[in-house]
Amino acid sequence: MLADKVQQQITRLTLVTGGQQDDKEILKQRAKHEFSKFHQYKQGLEVRQLNMHIKHRNMADQIQLLTLGKDTNKPTKIILLVGATGTGKTTLINAMVNFIYGVEFSDDFRLILIDDKNAPNRSQVESQTDLITAYAFYNLPGMPFDYNYVLIDTPGFGDTRGIQRDQEMINQLKNFLKQGYGIDQVDCVGFVTAASASRLTQTQRYVYDGLSSMFGKDIKDYIYIMATFADAKPPAVLAALKEALVNYAGYYKFNNSALLASNISIGNDSDSDDEDTTHICKLFWEMGCRSLTKFFKLLGNLSCQSNSNQGSV
């Protein structure tokens, strides 16, 4: 039944495009009907969770590798994402997934990897991700860039469990990189932080220094600031990073409040609050897409980085 539904969508697209299959649209329909399952309805959108395959899992070390699709001989680009609890890292990862599979603001569905509300009994300031997870998305026609994508998600640091938990997270990451699971390099590190942060916290400094100890002093050449909850202004966190003498290769702005926001205005009044909200969300969505386009384009030109202290990553 599922295969028939996907094929019907492909046939319809072929007819609409005059016999020329639109790879981007077909990819999006496969993501909706073949690669994901229904999770919930939210703000009039069908939220669908991707069906990831568990390739490796080690619960003792709290590390795992999940994949989607069939392995290809395409180049692979690997992004390590780190961020304090509450900085929007989970939502940023979900936004990246929607970008990879071509989901647009006007579409009636959204894709998620992680449900950031999946721990109702846990404190809001406690990390909701205890495992280090590498998500591998093998290349398919219609993806924005011609390589495989790997997103490494790490536990949020700076939660209520204190510095000891942050130290454990650094050790987890070291174990993950040692075991490899076929991931023998990283191409860049995305340091997720709120755009409005006026100072670098002690925990953020600790994690940055921990990354430097693992990857060496050249980390400044491939660590990128992912400034979340951003608006049109330059992120205030850039001044905080400068004051703390934290070096980085570049920064990108995101406001992922638009990810699961309604894209349908209620009523026809162009001056209504609903119309204004939808317009603002659309602008935030477009800002995120521009940032991701620039980021992934840059990623395609970066050489992989290895860790001289631990061997290949």
Flag whether pLDDT at 283 surpasses 70. yes
Tens digits of residue pLDDT in 132-157: 999 999 999 999 999 999 999 998 88
Tens digits of residue pLDDT in 222-269: 999 999 999 999 999 999 999 999 999 999 999 999 999 999 874 445
CA 126/CA 45 separation, integer angstroms: 28
Type of residue numbered 297: K
CA 47/CA 260 separation, integer angstroms: 8
Percent of the chain exceeding pLDDT 90 equals 58
Mean pLDDT to the nearest integer, 42-57: 96
Given a contact cutoff of 8 angstroms between Cβ atoms, the answer to whether 222 and 305 are in contact is yes
Q: Following CA atoms 275, 281, 284, 289 in sequence, which dihedral angle do they give, to the nearest 10 degrees?
A: -110
Between 96 and 9, name the one with better pLDDT: 96
The structure tokens listed for 283 are: 């602008």
Q: Identify the bridge partners of residue 194 per DSSP, sorted by sequence position.
A: 228
DSSP 176-197: HHHH-TT---BSEEEEEEETT-
Other C-beta atoms closer than 10 Å to the C-beta of 251 total: 20
pLDDT score recorded for residue 168: 83
Type of residue numbered 258: A
Given a contact cutoff of 8 angstroms between Cβ atoms, the answer to whether 66 and 133 are in contact is yes
The closest of 203, 8, 57 to 125, measured between CA atoms, is: 203
The structure tokens listed for 47 are: 């939220």
- How far CA 30 is from CA of 9, 66, 109, 112, 275, in Å, comes to 9, 19, 13, 15, 31
pTM score of the predicted model: 0.87
Cα diameter, the chain: 61
- How far CA 286 is from CA of 62, 102, 221, 289, in Å, comes to 35, 13, 27, 5
Q: Residue 56 phi/psi, 5° resolution?
A: -145, 145
Q: Identify the bridge partners of residue 134 per DSSP, sorted by sequence position.
A: 65, 152
Flag whether pLDDT at 127 surpasses 50. no
CA 134/CA 151 separation, integer angstroms: 6
302 pLDDT band (50/70/90 cuts)? Answer: confident
Other C-beta atoms closer than 10 Å to the C-beta of 235 total: 22
pLDDT score recorded for residue 226: 98
The closest of 140, 144, 72 to 102, measured between CA atoms, is: 144
Distance from chain centroid for Cα 270: 33
For the chain, domains (ranges, CATH) are 51-301 (3.40.50.300)
